[in-house]
Chains A and B, each alone.
Chain A
Amino acid sequence: MLNSLVRIVDDEADVRDSVSLFLQMAGLEVATYAGAREFLERDDSARPGCVILDVRMPDMTGIELQHEFGARGIDLPIIFLSAHGDIEMAVKAVQRGAVDFLVKPPEPEKLLELVERTLEAHQKKRRMDRERRQLLAQYETLTPAERQIVFLVAKGFSNATIGEVQGISERTAKSHRAKIYGKLDLENAVEASEFLREAGLLEQEGQPPSPEGEGL
């Protein structure tokens, strides 16, 4: 697990250095960039953390960089820092996913708290992403038939019902269930349901648990 890295992007050296110094004193690891382009060229977005981003910068504005994140699939959370409190701009920035929009100078403690919260959330997000990816990798080992049946299993259907629904014999259904349990390291239908939810598959498949589920 990688340590969090706080990135500061601001063309003002005073701000960049002082905020950096403060956060370092608070025990955080910080990287500074004098502009959006430098950030895009040099930063390793694989490291979790967050970006403290100035809005008004000469070559590329903070808002434009936020758009660029979307285009490049960078998931780093953004805390905007602006000299001008433009409410409309703030609202739009937050709507596009920014954590917050702070007017310079934000209270150091408040900033620190926000940064720490954001780092923690991002770490969690990264971790969850990683776990989901592992679950999905397990899920990928299933055959197309097993992929269909695992949802039915998660709904608590019996082998006989599954067989009927899929047009197969109860015995075949039972065999599929055993294989699925083995591949996904499951022991019962409840765990199957949990697995699918954690892998983010339930929502994706659009198959919410049936209200008239029998197995539960």
Chain B
Amino acid sequence: MSVLQKPPEVEFISGGCVNMDRGRTRSREQMQGILRIVLCVLVSACLSWAGARESRPTIVIGLVDTFDPHFYVKTFSSTIDYLEEQLPQYRIQAVDIDWRNIDEGIRRHRPQYLLLSGSDYVSLIDRYGVQQLVTRKQNGARDVNQSVSSTIIALNRPGAPGTLAELKDRTVAVTQKGSFDGWLIASGEIAAAGYDPEHFFSRVLETNYGIPDVLTLVKTGGADAGVLATCEYERMVQAGRIAPDEIRIIAKKDTGSVGCIRSTQLYPDALIAALPEASAGMNKTVLTVLLSMPAAQYGFEWDIGNSNASVLVLMRTLKLGPYLSLRETSPKALFMRYRNEVFLGLALMAAILLHIVALNILVRRRTRELVRTQREKEALNEEAKAAERKVAELERVTLVAQLSNIFAHEIKQPVTGILYNASALRLLLKNKGVNDPLAMKISDSLVEQANRCADIVERVRSYARKRVRADGSCCLRSVIDEAVRASAKREAVTVVASDGQCVQGDATELMLLVANLIRNGLQAAQTAKRPAVRVEVLEQGEEYVVCVTDNGPVIADDVFEKIGRAGFTSKTDGLGFGLSIAQAIAERHGGHLEFRRNMAGGLTVLLHLKRFEGCAGGAHAEQSGSYRR
């Protein structure tokens, strides 16, 4: 049987002749042998007839084989034979369909009719639109809707299970898990008793209608219990395989409509259903033949079954067939079925989560960095602006001082002139002996007013005059660094100076001086492609020379002549006091400025300052402290 079932390509028709002599023991094998002979004869007959009447339409009848060989021979083969006999105008073809893969069988063989168990039928109603034609009724069964059941057996001896509850976690032997009365009905009974049939037994052994069979397994202790199909127990007792009191029936019920011992409720037997492929005329013909099949001759008849409700209830309980979806609602089942998808989904979700988290972290970090950079930039800008403001303020103060110096110097000359002329006049009058009180008064007034004039000038000048700390000392490097920090485009300025190059004087004023030179340089160089100013400190004998070089355009002779004079500017927006202030500061520090034109263009301003050795490195005047951050 297994040969017929397993390789699907071996069709029933061409199947068996080869292994004819292989039948070995007892009824099952004998039945198989008989079946094959019958089939071989039948097929050869069919073929010879087919040769003559090739145009006959074919009726394909598929067996969804969950039945025992006894059923196969007694019911299926008999029915096929009867149909062939009654319907010579048709070629009747019987095909075997694996119950585990009904879809494939149907697709492959395209049968018009199926012989199948009640459980398989209800499974196919929705999927294929199968229509029940006739239901098998065993002779002796009173109700066509209640004619099959399962019998659960165990060895009748102490310690063996006697009730359904005692079967829990025992082993059970069944013919086939797809068998309706061999397993499914028994499962339904277990479920009805409140257990999960899938996990009720510790192990379910399938004999697949082979050897040893269910009874043998129970008798030899290979299984604690066994499930027998309808009336099988009676057949075995009849065959002498079961001695009296050898076997006990578990959950035994009264015999009911069938008259056989049973452990379960009764269900409709196997049935023949039409697929939509079958034409209406054919259905009528086939149905008529089937209903007319004589019960006395075959031991059963095809009857009209009208209720599959009990089967549906069973299938729902077992979550099979149309209720397979119910099974899927349990989380475990869902998980088992979709675990790959679930794992994939979880992995995807994890990946997405990881991605989101990573993205968030990245975004947060980037944002933080950006904010920090922005703040640093702002702080730097703020610092540069503050330094620029301070320098501008200092410059204004110095400019005012310088201007008032210039003013005072210039105004004092004529004031001196007036004073001395008036005094000369007085002496002249006195010399000439003129003793006119009015003339004396006028000349006195002139002297007095000129003196007052001089006083005012001196006072104004002293307001603006800054106290110069000529006694302090400062390090040129820090002075230059401060000056660079105060300039607008500090990145364009290169500084070459070392620590410990010190001069005597006021750090703030010197810073202002250098800042002025750098700014002048940057402005002169702004037309260059890459404006650059280089500040370098050279040591020449007794002095340091701070060289500020720019890469501005070549300077014309007449312009160079005027550089450094008060009021001169080559810029459109300058007052022209930058260099004159620088000069004034340099002179106040006992130094001077020197200007040199560069061959390649641009100007070098050299600030000569006397070296001062007495300074501790880096300890430069507290005035520069205000420039530090």
A residues near B (Cβ < 8 Å) are 12, 14-15, 17-19, 21-22, 24-26, 56, 83-85, 88, 103-105, 107-109
- A-B pairs, top 3 by smallest CB distance, nearest first, are A14-B417, A18-B420, A25-B427
Q: Are the C-beta atoms of A105 and B415 separated by less than 8 Å?
A: yes
- Rounded to whole angstroms, the CA-CA distance of A56 and B410 in the bound complex is 12
Tell me which residues across on chain B come within 8 A of A22, comparing CB atoms.
Answer: 420-421, 423-424, 427
Tell me which residues across on chain A come within 8 A of B427, comparing CB atoms.
Answer: 22, 25-26
- Rounded to whole angstroms, the CA-CA distance of A108 and B423 in the bound complex is 7
B residues near A (Cβ < 8 Å) are 405, 408-409, 412-421, 423-424, 427-428, 431, 447, 450-451, 454, 458, 470
Which listed residue (A12, A84, A85, A107) contacts B413, Cβ 8 A?
Answer: A12
Tell me which residues across on chain B come within 8 A of A21, comparing CB atoms.
Answer: 420-421, 424
Q: Are the C-beta atoms of A83 and B409 separated by less than 8 Å?
A: yes
Tell me which residues across on chain B come within 8 A of A83, comparing CB atoms.
Answer: 408-409, 412-413
Q: In angstroms, how far is the closest chain B Cβ from the Cβ of A211?
A: 46
Q: For chain A, what secondary structure do more than half of its interface residues adopt (helix, strand, loop), or is it mixed?
A: helix
Tell me which residues across on chain B come within 8 A of A17, comparing CB atoms.
Answer: 417
Tell me which residues across on chain A come within 8 A of B428, comparing CB atoms.
Answer: 25
Tell me which residues across on chain B come within 8 A of A84, comparing CB atoms.
Answer: 405, 408-409
- Rounded to whole angstroms, the CA-CA distance of A15 and B415 in the bound complex is 8
Q: Are the C-beta atoms of B412 and A104 separated by less than 8 Å?
A: yes
Tell me which residues across on chain A come within 8 A of B424, comparing CB atoms.
Answer: 18, 21-22, 24-25
Q: Are the C-beta atoms of B451 and A107 separated by less than 8 Å?
A: yes
- Rounded to whole angstroms, the CA-CA distance of A205 and B412 in the bound complex is 51
Most A-side CB within 10 Å, residue of B415, B419, B420, B451? B420
- Rounded to whole angstroms, the CA-CA distance of A88 and B471 in the bound complex is 11
- Rounded to whole angstroms, the CA-CA distance of A19 and B450 in the bound complex is 14
Tell me which residues across on chain B come within 8 A of A105, comparing CB atoms.
Answer: 412, 415-416, 419-420, 450-451, 454
- Rounded to whole angstroms, the CA-CA distance of A56 and B423 in the bound complex is 24
- Rounded to whole angstroms, the CA-CA distance of A20 and B409 in the bound complex is 20
Q: In angstroms, how far is the closest chain A Cβ from the Cβ of B425?
A: 8
Q: Are the C-beta atoms of B413 and A108 separated by less than 8 Å?
A: no
Q: Are the C-beta atoms of B470 and A18 separated by less than 8 Å?
A: no
Q: In the complex, what residue of chain A is closest to B431 when comparing beta carbons?
A: A25
Give me 18 other A-B pairs in contact (C-beta within 8 A), A84-B408, A85-B458, A105-B451 excluded. A12-B416, A15-B416, A17-B417, A18-B419, A18-B420, A18-B424, A22-B420, A22-B423, A25-B423, A25-B424, A83-B409, A83-B412, A83-B413, A105-B412, A105-B416, A105-B419, A105-B454, A107-B451
- Rounded to whole angstroms, the CA-CA distance of A15 and B450 in the bound complex is 13
Q: In the complex, what residue of chain A is closest to B588 when comparing beta carbons?
A: A86
Given A25-B431, A88-B470, do A104 and B421 touch, yes or no (CB 8 Å)? no
Q: Are the C-beta atoms of B416 and A19 separated by less than 8 Å?
A: yes
Tell me which residues across on chain A come within 8 A of B408, comparing CB atoms.
Answer: 83-84
Q: Are the C-beta atoms of A15 and B417 separated by less than 8 Å?
A: yes
Given A22-B420, A22-B424, do A108 and B447 touch, yes or no (CB 8 Å)? yes
Q: Are the C-beta atoms of A104 and B454 separated by less than 8 Å?
A: yes
- Rounded to whole angstroms, the CA-CA distance of A210 and B428 in the bound complex is 58
Q: In angstroms, how far is the closest chain A Cβ from the Cβ of B275?
A: 127
- Rounded to whole angstroms, the CA-CA distance of A26 and B425 in the bound complex is 10
Tell me which residues across on chain A come within 8 A of B454, comparing CB atoms.
Answer: 104-105
Q: In angstroms, how far is the closest chain B Cβ from the Cβ of A162?
A: 55
Q: In the complex, what residue of chain B is closest to A54 when comparing beta carbons?
A: B413
- Rounded to whole angstroms, the CA-CA distance of A193 and B447 in the bound complex is 53
Tell me which residues across on chain A come within 8 A of B409, comparing CB atoms.
Answer: 56, 83-84
Tell me which residues across on chain B come within 8 A of A104, comparing CB atoms.
Answer: 412-413, 415-416, 454
Which listed residue (B405, B420, B447, B451) contacts A19, Cβ 8 A?
Answer: B420
- Rounded to whole angstroms, the CA-CA distance of A83 and B454 in the bound complex is 10
Q: Are the C-beta atoms of B447 and A14 separated by less than 8 Å?
A: no
Q: In angstroms, how far is the closest chain A Cβ from the Cβ of B89?
A: 145
Given A25-B427, A88-B470, do A108 and B412 touch, yes or no (CB 8 Å)? no
Q: In the complex, what residue of chain B is closest to A12 when comparing beta carbons?
A: B413
Q: In the complex, what residue of chain A is closest to B420 when comparing beta carbons?
A: A18
- Rounded to whole angstroms, the CA-CA distance of A85 and B420 in the bound complex is 19
- Rounded to whole angstroms, the CA-CA distance of A44 and B187 in the bound complex is 150
* 25 residue pairs bridging A and B, Cβ less than 8 Å apart: A12-B413, A12-B416, A12-B417, A14-B413, A14-B416, A18-B418, A18-B421, A18-B424, A19-B420, A22-B427, A24-B424, A25-B424, A25-B431, A83-B409, A83-B413, A104-B413, A104-B415, A105-B412, A105-B416, A105-B420, A105-B450, A105-B451, A105-B454, A108-B419, A108-B420
Q: In the complex, what residue of chain A is closest to B408 when comparing beta carbons?
A: A83
Q: Are the C-beta atoms of B420 and A15 separated by less than 8 Å?
A: yes
- Rounded to whole angstroms, the CA-CA distance of A25 and B405 in the bound complex is 32
Tell me which residues across on chain A come within 8 A of B423, comparing CB atoms.
Answer: 22, 25, 108-109
Q: In angstroms, how far is the closest chain A Cβ from the Cβ of B456?
A: 12
Tell me which residues across on chain A come within 8 A of B421, comparing CB atoms.
Answer: 18, 21-22
Q: In the complex, what residue of chain B is closest to A25 when comparing beta carbons?
A: B427
Q: In the complex, what residue of chain B is closest to A17 when comparing beta carbons?
A: B417
Q: In angstroms, how far is the closest chain A Cβ from the Cβ of B250?
A: 130
Q: In angstroms, how far is the closest chain B Cβ from the Cβ of A32?
A: 12
Q: In angstroms, how far is the closest chain A Cβ from the Cβ of B404?
A: 11
Tell me which residues across on chain B come within 8 A of A88, comparing CB atoms.
Answer: 470
Q: In the complex, what residue of chain B is closest to A85 when comparing beta carbons?
A: B458
Tell me which residues across on chain A come within 8 A of B470, comparing CB atoms.
Answer: 88
Given A84-B408, A88-B470, do A18 and B416 touch, yes or no (CB 8 Å)? yes
- Rounded to whole angstroms, the CA-CA distance of A84 and B462 in the bound complex is 10
Tell me which residues across on chain B come within 8 A of A12, comparing CB atoms.
Answer: 413, 416-417
- Rounded to whole angstroms, the CA-CA distance of A102 and B424 in the bound complex is 19
- Rounded to whole angstroms, the CA-CA distance of A108 and B405 in the bound complex is 23
Most B-side CB within 10 Å, residue of A21, A85, A103, A107? A21
